[in-house]
Every structure is written in structure tokens, then in C-alpha cells.
Amino acid sequence: MKRAVAVAAGVLAVVGVVVGVLVSRSSAGPPPLGNPASGGGGLECAPGTTLADGFYALENDSGQTVTITSVRLIGGPGQAMTSRAYLTPAGPGHGMLIGLTPPWPPSAPQWKQRKLAVGGTIAPHTWGNLVFAQTRTSSHPKPAEPEITYTAGGNNYTLIEVVQTLVAVNCGD
Amino acid sequence: MRIKPWVGITLGVSALAVLSVTPAITAGASTTDHGVRNYIWKPGTTLPTIAAGEKLVAWPVQSVMGNIQVGERVPVLTIGHTTARGQYVSTATRSQLASVTDENGLVNLEAEPDGCGLPEFHQNLGKQWTVVGTTFVLFNQANQDFRYDNDQSSSVGVGYSASGKDGSFSADGTTSVDTDGGEDWGTLGEGNERYATYFRYGVYETICSTRGGSGYEYYQIKPYEWAAGDQITHPNAPSYHGYNCVPQTHNSTFHKYTSHAIEFSGGYSVFGFTGSTQTGYSTSAEVIMHFYARGRMCGTNDVPGGTDPRVLLAIKY
């Protein structure tokens, strides 16, 4: 099964009279962007060298605004994130996701409405399509997955997607 | 009053321990004439709620169930009961609990009245086709493959009847069956595909006594083992929303390992009873879709890469 961690761990530093105490604060309920570990893994593979990776929908199911603090590609030797990460509109009324597909930059109409993912926000009960350039850097690459850190309601969260993406020479079974 | 036993992880710690209790609402199974209910339980999670005067029994794992002959008793393990004063008493040791836990870490539990004896394998209903998955390719430039790998678990609906007569059974919770082999329905092109495999089913009779000395019995239809085999039928395609779709490029492939799957309300039919089925308690059921031309892949409930896409469809771009 694919790796997955979605941890809510808000950290509140409290300096006492005698010693400093580090307090970990967890929010009640599920993480605002969900827990993909509960859904099983998978692999999306497309042939090429540099593709737009817009396969992931970040769905804010909470009543709090989500602010993205970092995005990086993990795992996957032979796979690299070769652009900054962006958010484009997604969800009801916004057509399909951009997907793992050429060209880079994307030709999809919603690309014109992109904003930088880091520092960007996802309003309560709305979606963002995470989009970045994914480049194959070897002839035998391994699948990779994005790790997204974000804040909501004063808590910090880390989301690691469990469906991986792979830019390959060929996508066989 | 219904009583909620404390979390199940405590069960393995000591036998005959009287645990604290908290009122709770029963969930997960309908209640029959005599309060018999079936559950799939994962040790370490909260146990189902049982009332005063009821007990929880664990049914044996598939390797034991498959060797029981008609007329023989099923060696269910009583793991705890609730006293008349509302206290839950755990009666299973850690090793006993391990003996009724399948390879996916699941236990098939039944809540029943205290006065009931061991079930008897009353009637063998034999092999029945049981639906475990579905996929759809709605254009001629993609193919699809559904695989059901070793140790995959399926949740199967249990039938309950007070009389045991053909056609008298109604739904009463679920039980799990796991595989000790794999099944691959093959690579298929355009089409609406629903995948079934054989499970063997039986009718189990349980005889109970009341404090007044009178007795009664009840009957249950349950699967007792996976029997392999593959069958494909062709249902109508479901609806989907465009925002749950992603484009698929030429020669791209998507694999999905399902830990959530659609529940099939008509998963199997036997002895006048139609039971539900659901695949996905473990992640060894796999859907593979390959696109020979540009297309779209959609989930009926979520995007394909999301937590719970349910049914996957490959469609024209």
C-alpha cells in the first residue's frame, strides 16, 4: 500500500516562568484537505519528458480557509518538480482537472487563472487543482507523490498524496 | 438500555475483566427479532454496542469455516457479554482473539442473546456468483482490467430468518470473506463490466433458550469461503460529473488500488435472499485502465486520484 500521512499537528510554543514548553496542538475532526490514506493508493503514468502534473484536486471540505505553505515532490528517483507549484480553479463549474499531460505550461483555459500555490489559499468548501511541471530525469524513473503542507484554523497539516504520478518512457502494466 | 463496551483493544488484555461502560447508539447493522446482528470488526477499534443480556461471539476464520460439514457445530468464540446490570465483561484472551482474526486483521462478530448455543451448519447452499467490482470503458481507444489479488477481503451481507424457509431471509449486517488466491478478469476493451466470483454459502441454525425455559431458533445465510471463478455481466453505465474527470494522454495508464469500493445491493442471490457485497477492506483489488488515445477518466463520486472515486469510467476526450 502506498505511503500516506495526513497529520494535523499545530505547534504552539508556550514559554513558562521557569522553562519553555513545546505544545503540540491537534484539531478535532478530519484534516481540511482530507486524509487520502483512507482511500487506497494508485499510479497515474504518462509517457514523456516534461509534463504538466495537474492530477491532484485539493478539496477543502472544512469551514476554514486553507493556506498552502509548501509543495514538494517526494519519492520517485528520476522524477523532479521543475517549476513552481500553482493552483488553478477546480470543482463544480470548472470543468475537468488539468491532469498529467503535455504540454507544459498547460493549454487548459483555467491555466490563465493560476496563482502560486505557496501562499495561495483555498476557500472553505472549494477546490484547487495543484499544477506543476514534472520532469523525467532518467530512463528508469520511479513514481513520486507531492507533499503539501498547509495551515487552517491555526493548525499545521501535512498531506502526502497516495496516488502517485510517473512520467515514463513507456507506461506498461 | 444499550451499553457500549469499551474499546476492543482492551479485549486482548485480560479475560473476565469488568470494563467501564458508556451509553451509546448502535450503528452498522439492523436489529432482527431476537436482536441478532452481524459486524465486521477490527481489533483495536470500538466494539459494536450490545444490550444487557447479550453476548458477542466471533465466527471462525475462513480456513475453519470451509472444513465444517453439514450437521456439525460452528466453534464460535464468545469474546464478551453484558450483564443484567449493564457491565460489559470481556472473556477472550489475546491468543483466542488472534485465532478468529483473518489475514486482513478482521473479525466477524455476531451480537446475540446470552442463551444461544453454537450454530449448526444446517444447509449447504453451494457456490453463488458474488459481485466484487465494476468498471466502464465508453470508447474504443482504452482497455480495462480488474484484479482481485491474494488476501483481498470482501464484505458480504448476511441473511437472517426466524423460520429458515426459502424466501424468508432479510438483511442483517455484514461478514467478511478473504481470498487465499487471486482472480484476474482479463484485459477488456470498450464495455460496461461487472465482475463476479464464486463464494460458497450456507444456512446456519442457532438454538436459544430463554429464562422461562422456552426455546427458539434462528437461521442465517453466510458465506463460508471463496471458491474462485470469474464471471462478467454488463450493467448500465452510471452518471458522472465532468469536474470528477482528468484528461488521459496517449499511451497513459492508471492503476487504482481500492480500499473503498462501491456497495452492490444485489451482490448475490441465494435461497430467496439478495445480499449486498462490497470489495475494499484491503487494497489488493486493483483497477487498471490504459488509454491508446487521448481520453478522459472519471470517478462517479470523486476524482480518480481522490479518496473515494467509487466507479471508474474511461470516456472519449
pLDDT value of residue B261: 64
Distance from the first to the final alpha carbon of chain B: 57
Higher-pLDDT residue of A105 and B21 is A105
| Interval A37-47 mean pLDDT | 87
Partner residue facing A96 (CB), from B145, B245, B252: B245
Q: What chain B residue is nearest to A167 in terms of C-alpha separation?
A: B252
Distance CA B146, CA A52 (A): 28
Nearest to B243 among A42, A47, A91 (CB): A91
A-chain residues near B251 (CB < 8 A): 46-47, 170-171
CA distance B291 to chain A (A): 10
- The confidence band for B260, taking pLDDT boundaries of 50, 70 and 90, is low
pLDDT of B81 strictly over 70 = yes
pLDDT-derived band of residue B73, with 50, 70 and 90 as boundaries?
very high
pLDDT at B153: 80
A45·B280 Cβ contact <8 A: no
The pLDDT of residue A173: 53
**Which long-range contacts (C-beta less than 8 Å, at least 24 apart) are formed by B161-166?**
B161/B218, B161/B219, B161/B220, B162/B32, B162/B33, B162/B34, B162/B216, B162/B217, B162/B218, B162/B219, B163/B219, B164/B122, B164/B203, B164/B205, B164/B217, B164/B218, B164/B219, B166/B271, B166/B272
All three cell numbers of B28, joined, read 452498522
Mutate to test the interface with B, among A2, A35, A98, A171 (most CBs of B within 10 A): A171
Cβ–Cβ < 8 Å for B117, B139: no
Residue B282 has a pLDDT of: 58
Residue B239 pLDDT > 90: yes
Q: What is the pLDDT of residues A64-74, one digit of tens each?
A: 999 999 999 99
CB pairs under 8 A between A and B: 115
Smallest Cβ distance to B254: which of A44, A54, A93? A44
- Quick one: pLDDT at residue A2? 31
CB contact at 8 A, B220 and B204: yes
Count the alpha carbons within 13 Å of A151 in the hemisphere toward its beta carbon: 11
Query: Does position B237 have pLDDT exceeding 50, yes or no?
Result: yes
Q: Answer whether residue A44 shows pLDDT above 90.
A: yes
A55 contacts B248? CB cut-off 8 A: no
Nearest CA in chain A to B285: A40
Closest by CA to B55, choosing from B5, B106, B107, B1, is B5
Q: Is the pLDDT of residue A27 over 80?
A: no
Using the beta-carbon criterion (under 8 Å), do B242 and A95 form an inter-chain contact?
A: yes
Task: Classify strands B312-316 and B120-137 as parallel, antiparallel or unpaired.
Answer: parallel
Nearest to A38 among B241, B244, B307 (CB): B307
Residue B244 main-chain phi, psi, to 5 deg:
-95, 20
Q: How far apart are alpha carbons B72 and B74 in whole angstroms?
A: 7
- The 10s digit of each residue's pLDDT in B110-153 is 999 999 999 999 999 999 999 998 999 999 999 999 988 777 78
Selected residue with higher pLDDT from B10 and A73: A73
For the entire predicted model, the pTM comes to: 0.83
pLDDT digits (tens, 9 = 90+) for B104-116: 889 999 999 999 9
Q: pLDDT of B35-70, one tens digit each?
A: 799 999 999 899 988 999 999 999 999 999 999 999
B222 inside 8 A of chain A by CB: no
Least confident interval from A25-29, A104-108, A113-117, B11-15: B11-15
**Cβ contact (<8 Å) for B256 and A163?**
yes
Among A92-96, B83-87, B177-181, which is the least confidently predicted range?
B177-181
Contacts of B253 in chain A (CB under 8 A): 43-45, 171-173
Scanning every residue of chain A, which has its alpha carbon at the shortest distance from the alpha carbon of B286? Answer: A42
pLDDT given at position A66: 98
Per CB-CB distance under 8 Å, the chain A contacts of B260 are 38-40
d(CA A53, CA A65): 24
Residue A146 preceded by cis peptide, ω within 30: no
Hey, are the CB atoms on A40 and B290 less than 8 Å from each other? no
Contact by Cβ (8 Å): B153, B176: yes
- Chain B CB contacts of A126 below 8 Å: none
Residue B198 to residue B128: CA distance in whole angstroms = 5
CB A129 within 8 A of CB A54: yes
Q: Does B203 touch chain A (CB under 8 A)?
A: no
- Nine cell digits for residue B313: 469510467
Please judge whether A36 and B248 are an interchain contact, meaning their C-beta atoms are less than 8 angstroms apart: no
Question: How confident is the model over B6-24, as a mean pLDDT?
Answer: 28
pLDDT of res. A33:
96
User: Is residue A26 pLDDT above 50, yes or no?
Assistant: no
Is A161 close to B253, i.e. CB distance below 8 A? no
Mean pLDDT of B71-78: 97
Query: In Å, how far from its chain's centre is CA A78?
Result: 19
What is the spatial distance between Cα B309 and Cα B99, in angstroms, rounded to a whole number? 35
Q: Which of A67-76, B77-86, B260-269 has the lowest mean pLDDT?
A: B260-269
**Cβ neighbour number for residue A25 with a 10 Å cutoff:** 12
pLDDT: is B278 or A137 the higher one?
A137
pLDDT at A47 exceeding the cut of 80: yes
pLDDT at position B300 is: 92
Is pLDDT at B26 greater than 60 in this prediction? no
Q: B296: nearest CA in chain A?
A: A96
- Among B15-29, B78-92, B228-242, the minimum mean pLDDT is found in B15-29
Per-residue pLDDT for A3 more than 70?
Answer: no
